[in-house]
Chain A
Amino acid sequence: MTSYVSATEQDRREMLAAIGVESIDELFAGIPAALRLSGALALDRGLSEQEVYDELRALAARNTSTEEELSFLGAGMYDHYVPALIDSIILRSEFLTPYTPYQPEISQGGLQAMFEYQTAISELTGLPISNASVYEGPSAVGAAGYVAKLHNGRKRFVVSRGVHPHSRETLATLAHGWEMEVVEAPLSDGVTALPELGEDVSAVIVQQPNFLGAVEQLEPLASAAREAGALTICACDPLPLALLNPPGECGADIAVGEGQTLGNRLDFGGPSFGFFACTEELMRRMPGRIAGETRDVDGKRGFVLTLQTREQHIRRERATSNICTSQALNALAGVIYLSWLGRRGIVELAELMLQRTAYARERLAALEGVTLLHEQPVVREFAVELEAPVERVLHRCRERGVNPGYALGREYAEYPNGLLVAITERRTKAEIDLLADTLEAAIAAERSAVGARA
């Protein structure tokens, strides 16, 4: 058994004497006897550090990570290269182990990092106010919905079908508690077709690029929302924002999104972080921590958590959110990553993805049995339809060590053999060519197998 406790027999004796009791058991006398456990918890006995390591390694070995297969899986989280400097910084005790910076005098490291992060997110999204992080992408969409509800008190959300299915589902789960209705705006030719908006619409929610990889025209969508008196919430993929007109410039009121691609690992879905940015007008309704600049008594620049009266520890039942612990360490990784990419690097990265995605799309569209699902501009992900059962094709590709992407049919019944293919800077031309060849062979094999079975 491993223990992190230092109290020796002698320590315990001395402490019990100082307290004035005979045994540790006496300290629990206030717990009713009927509730006291008579035996030990039914858990395996504790192991040594080495044994625990071996077990965790054995479990890891039964997962196929992106190091073991060539992966084109995206759909919300992406296989980017995480530079080494990130771990060297975020694993420092001073960043890894402190609590939320409630005592700012000894938390300037964390608070300044939050301020820098907020600046970077504001730059990316084109909106002036960013918070210091929320949990992740889909719950950020939910949190944005709550802000809209508090802001205008209306009863309905209009969400594009192009918004990530997990975000749509999260919003629906939360909206049920608010007794609000969620209505879906369909896609037409891969992009949002916004219906006529009534005066009961609290917010319009879209994604950029959308789940099918298509770049949306945000301005007309935001315009229509504004005319109806509704807010526009845009869930966005941060790296394409290096090239795309950001939500703030297009009239969105709130920009949220999944931050995993900014210096964070896949980690089977978390932890990552969600970013949340908004207009000045909505600042006092924004959830989460916000770091602000100020001076100390000696006139020195310093940073503090500010606008805390929005938060649960002060406003309690009237808070803008119940969020307490968020994702500070992951947001720190995010700002380090954005600094590492830099002003020119982020554009170069996005342009590289743009070109390679275009190449991949062209190569796959030319294959027998593959058609493009839409022809909208794309940046780093695109959708195709296969003329063969997609799960079977995926299986064949997997056997060759290639994971071609996400099967759309699970969430989009209208595309039963749809496939979403993601490109990152890690996917080279050679790998894209391998994908094309493998996919081609798999589709052909499936079609002839079907033929043979028919």
Chain B
Amino acid sequence: MIGAADDQLTIFERSREGRRAFVAPALDVPERPLDELLPAHLRRAEPPKLPEVAEPEIVRHYNRLSKRNFDLDTGFYPLGSCTMKHNPKLHERVAALPGHAKLHPFQDPAHAQGALELMWRLQSALSEIAGLPHVSLQPSAGSHGELAGVLLTRAYHEDRGEHRTKVLTPDTAHGTNPATVTMAGYEVVKVGTDEQGNVDLDDLRSKTTDDVACLMLTNPSTVGLFEPGIEEIAKIMHGVGATLYYDGANLNAIMGICRPGDMGFDIVHFNLHKSFTQPHGGGGPGAGPIAVSDRIEPYLPRPQVVRRSASAGNGGGEHYYDLDYDRPKSIGRLRGFQGNYGVFVRSYAYIRSLGAEGLREVSEVAVLNANYLLALLREAGVAEYLPAAYDRICMHEFVLSGAPMKRELGIKTLDLAKRLLDHGVHPPTVYFPLIVDEALLIEPTETETKETLDHFAQIVAEILREAREDPEIARNAPYTTPVRRLDEATAARHPVVRQPL
């Protein structure tokens, strides 16, 4: 290991023999010889070398570590495609209620009616938002939902006696889309984007053949634009009997405004850790429920949460919520138990807090904030170095190109991002989508104030001004962060992924 100062040590380096936090309860049953219960040949020779530390040291260690993180509660986080909106504090309180938090997943449904009803109601709300009748909450993340969607597509075609081999994705697609296609056993075919930033309909038509199973699309797209030809796209795909899959990463732009189901999509996934406020946690947990049309419903994962009318045997009340395993055409399971219930509790609380009106307001202000920030960045001093890739009204996010900045000022999008760190904001998404050179994808979200957006635009202008005078500053940024630029090449060439002990 590389040597480190005291405040950078790992928990293992703080370990000292004899220290401890946990003390096991006293043995209250008759003690039997170890060899009798667990023969020596089954036992490990040495215990795992976990650290030996007392509680105060553990708490101090992780508290210090936390202070080396930038976070959303602290500052602006305009990461395009990630929807870094405020995480309401009520949600942790309700998720921690023992009735939710300490409920065993194999608990008898008759004794988990609150949980099953919550899931059923969440399903209904998501169904209404998507405009599709049937929902499964099982997938654990967006890409898990994508996998479900493509496997559902496969089941649908196989049930009709068809064996299709290809799935279409635009070249602007998030990497999870093509990765999912391969994992589901299909071949990826890329569809081009036209100069307006929309799916190239001619290219789509030429590639839509009888062996295409599905088109995976995000709308608005990853360049932040609504597909004006979406109805035509749906016609083209349905014309060959293919399914249309909606990547819900950009749902924040259209809630209460329009619905993917109405656009013709058969399968939609939601990222509950994006539009529905599940905290990102530094990389999860999330959840990726899916909503599907009638024709896809038979193949949904098992079990499904259903509502039945109550009968004498299953308790008082009008309805009985249950887990339905009797699904002969189901694709099966994608994970254990019912899904990330703790995430459902938070998202359900959010939807109940906002209601129809609040969700619509979310999308309206998300789009307003994005367009406002875009307008600010179109000002002199910025626009000539970071022009908008598509010169029109955007939705909830927009892409700038740092190519002129690189040419004229000699600093790249990466350098701008690193210099932003010195100004106490998180950079936007960089180098995605792939079709824009030196891309900068910016999504402010609806929970930011106008002043925050003004301030961000000022910072960008300042960095460009500074670069005109001395580009070296940005090239060597950041300076004020807990560590400066890191040698990722050596980390990849000679990976050290655990502490030697």
Contacts and interface: CB of A to CB of B under 8 A. Distances in A.
A106 B427 CA distance: 11
A343 B179 CA distance: 39
B63 A63 contact: no
B293 interface: no
B333 interface: yes
B170 interface: no
Nearest to A124: B48
Contacts of A87: 96
A63 B497 contact: no
B58 A339 contact: yes
Contact of A306 (B72, B107, B337, B492): B492
Nearest to A120: B50
B70 A106 contact: yes
Contact of B48 (A44, A89, A346, A425): A346
Contacts of A91: 92
Given A139-B144, A339-B58, A99 B84 contact: yes
Given A27-B367, A289-B283, A313-B432, A167 B336 contact: yes
Interface string A396-434: 001000010010000000000000000001001110100
Nearest to A407: B106
Interface residues of A, number: 209
Given A5-B361, A59-B115, A215-B38, A106 B426 contact: yes
Interface in B107-122: 107-108, 111-115, 117-118
A56 B496 contact: no
A311 B286 CA distance: 18
B113 A62 contact: yes
B353 A46 contact: yes
A199 interface: no
Contacts of A270: 105, 140, 285, 335, 337-343
Interface string A11-42: 11011101111001011111110111100111
B487 interface: yes
Nearest to B180: A322
B42 A354 contact: no
B71 interface: yes
B485 A118 contact: no
Given A98-B71, A296-B485, A355-B29, A67 B65 contact: no
B62 A300 contact: no
Contacts of B134: none
A332 interface: yes
Contact of A133 (B284, B343, B421, B492): B284
Given A3-B361, A63-B103, A304 B491 contact: yes
B151 interface: yes
B499 A266 contact: no
A161 interface: no
B497 A130 contact: yes
A327 B284 contact: yes
A307 B426 CA distance: 23
A104 B23 contact: no
- Interface-centre pick from A128, A290, A295, A343 (highest chain B CB count, 10 A): A343
Given A35-B231, A170-B336, A342 B19 contact: yes
B111 A269 contact: no
A309 B493 CA distance: 12
B334 A4 contact: no
Interface residues of B, number: 208
B308 interface: no
Contacts of B357: 1, 40, 45-46
B263 A347 contact: no
B183 A321 contact: yes
B60 to A, nearest CB: 10
A329 to B, nearest CB: 3
A312 B244 CA distance: 21
A96 B262 contact: no
B285 A307 contact: no
B286 to A, nearest CB: 4
B367 A312 contact: no
A18 B11 contact: no
Interface in B336-395: 336-343, 345, 348-349, 351-362, 364-365, 367-369, 371-372, 374-376, 392-393
Contacts of A130: 497-498
A196 B254 CA distance: 56
Interface stretch (A73-81, A152-160, A222-230, A438-446): A73-81
B112 A297 contact: no
Contacts of B334: 139, 142, 170, 173-174
Given A267-B100, A335-B11, A336-B58, A325 B21 contact: no
Contacts of B88: 2, 4
Contacts of B41: 217, 245
Interface string B291-313: 00000000001100000000000
A275 interface: no
A43 interface: yes
A27 B392 CA distance: 10
Contacts of B47: 242, 343-344, 346-347
Contact of B68 (A109, A267, A339): A109
A323 B353 contact: no
B193 to A, nearest CB: 16
Given A2-B353, A306-B497, A319 B179 contact: yes
A115 B55 CA distance: 20
B69 A109 contact: yes
B266 interface: no
A207 interface: no
Contact of B497 (A16, A43, A94, A118): A118
Contacts of B427: 103
B70 A107 contact: yes
Contact of A346 (B1, B50, B151): B50
12 contacts: A57-B94, A59-B115, A60-B100, A77-B337, A99-B72, A105-B482, A113-B282, A245-B42, A293-B491, A328-B281, A347-B47, A359-B30
